[in-house]
Amino acid sequence: MGYGLAGAPYFCLTICLLPVFLQGLEILDPGEVVYVRTVTKGVVGRSVMLECGTTLPDIYIWGFTLPGDDHIRAVVYNFGKGPKLQKLATSLGELSVISDSSSLLIDRLPLFAQGLYTCQALYDTNEGALVYYYYVRLLVLVPVTKPYILLSDSSPVEGTPMWMRCRLENGTGPIHYIWERENFNGVISEFNVGNISLMNITGVTRNHTGWYRCLARNEVNQQRSDRIWLDIIFGPDSPHIDITPYSVTERGFSALERETVVLLCKASSNPPSLYVWFYNNSQVYIGPQFTITKILRMHTGYYSCLAQNTYLNTRSKTTITLTVYYPPDGSPTCNIFPGNNYTDLALWCSWMGGHPQASLYWTGADDLSGQGQSQTNATLMQPGSKTTDGSTFTCHGSHVTLNSSASCNVTALPPPGDPQCSAYATRNNEYLMLSCSWEGGTPRALLSWVASNGAPQGSSEENANILVLRSSATYSGKAFVCTTKHPLSPVNKRCILKLEAPVLVTQRSIVSVYEGSDVQLTCVLRANYPATEITWYNNLRHMVWDTPRKYQLHNEAAWSNLTVRETDGMQDSGQYWCSATNAVGGAEIPITLYVRKYPVPPNVTISKIVYNSRKRTEVDLEWTTATAGHLTGFFMERQRTLAAEVKVDSGLPWQKVVADLAPELRSHTLRGQDPATLYAFRITAVNHRTVGHPSEVRTPADPPFTAYPAVIGAAIGGMLLATILTVLLFLYIVRNRNNNRREYHPPWSSAARH
For residues 250 and 218, the answer to whether their CB atoms sit within 8 Å is: no
Min dist CB 435 to ligand NAG, Å, is: 22
Q: Which residues of 440-456 are buried (b: 16+ CB within 10 A; e: fewer)?
A: ebbbbbbbbbbeeeeee
Nearer to ligand NAG, 420 or 507 (CB): 507
Least separation in angstroms between residue 206's CB and ligand NAG is 6
Phi, psi of 405 (to 5 degrees): -90, 155
Minimum distance of ligand NAG from residue 696's CB (angstroms): 8
In this complex, which beta carbon is closest to ligand NAG, that of residue 357 or of residue 539?
357
To 5 degrees, how large is the angle CA 212–CA 215–CA 217? Answer: 170
Residue 377 CB, shortest distance to ligand NAG, in Å, is: 4
Q: Which residues contact 50 (CB under 8 A, 6 or more apart)?
A: 40, 62, 103, 104, 105, 106, 117, 119, 136, 138
Q: Between 363 and 726, name the residue whose CB sits nearer to ligand NAG.
A: 363
C-beta closer to ligand NAG: residue 375 or 426: 375
DSSP codes joined into one string, 681-714 = EEEEEEETTEE------BPPBPPPGGGHHHHHHH
CB of 297 to ligand NAG, least distance (A): 10
Work out how close the CB of 351 gets to ligand NAG at its nearest, in angstroms, rounded to a whole number.
10
Minimum CB separation of residue 181 from ligand NAG in Å reads: 13
Neighbouring C-alpha atoms within 13 Å toward the C-beta of 617:
2
Beta carbon nearer to ligand NAG, 181 or 614: 181
**Rounded Cα gap, residues 481 and 414, in angstroms:** 20
DSSP secondary structure code for residue 601 in this structure:
P
Query: Is the CB of 195 or the CB of 319 nearer to ligand NAG?
Result: 195
Closer CB to ligand NAG, 238 or 409, in the complex: 409
Which CB atom, from 173 or from 440, has the smaller least distance to ligand NAG?
173
In the complex, what is the shortest distance from the CB of residue 722 to ligand NAG, in angstroms, rounded to a whole number? 42
- Which string of b and e fits 177-216 if b means at least 16 CB within 10 Å? bbbbbeeeeeeeeeebeeeebebeeeebebebbbbbbbbb
Q: Which of 482, 488, 487 is nearest to 464 (CA)?
A: 482
Residue nearest to ligand NAG (CB): 301
Nearest to 508 by CA among 593, 595, 597: 593
Q: Closest approach of Cβ 357 to ligand NAG, in Å?
A: 8
Cβ contacts of residue 196 below 8 Å, gap of 6+? 177
- Provide the phi-psi class of 518: left if phi over 0, else alpha when psi is between -120 and 50, else beta: beta
Binding site for ligand NAG (CB under 6 A): 111, 145, 163, 169-170, 173-174, 194-195, 198, 200, 205-207, 280, 300-302, 341, 350, 376-377, 392, 394, 403-404, 407-409, 507, 520, 522, 554, 561, 603, 626, 693
* Nearest residue (CB) to ligand NAG, 404 versus 453: 404
How many angstroms separate the Cα of 73 from the Cα of each of 85, 137, 190, 446? 12, 15, 49, 142
Q: How far is the CB of 693 from ligand NAG (least distance, A)?
A: 4
Quick one: 194 or 709, whose CB is closer to ligand NAG?
194
**Is cis: bond before 456, omega within 30 of 0?**
no
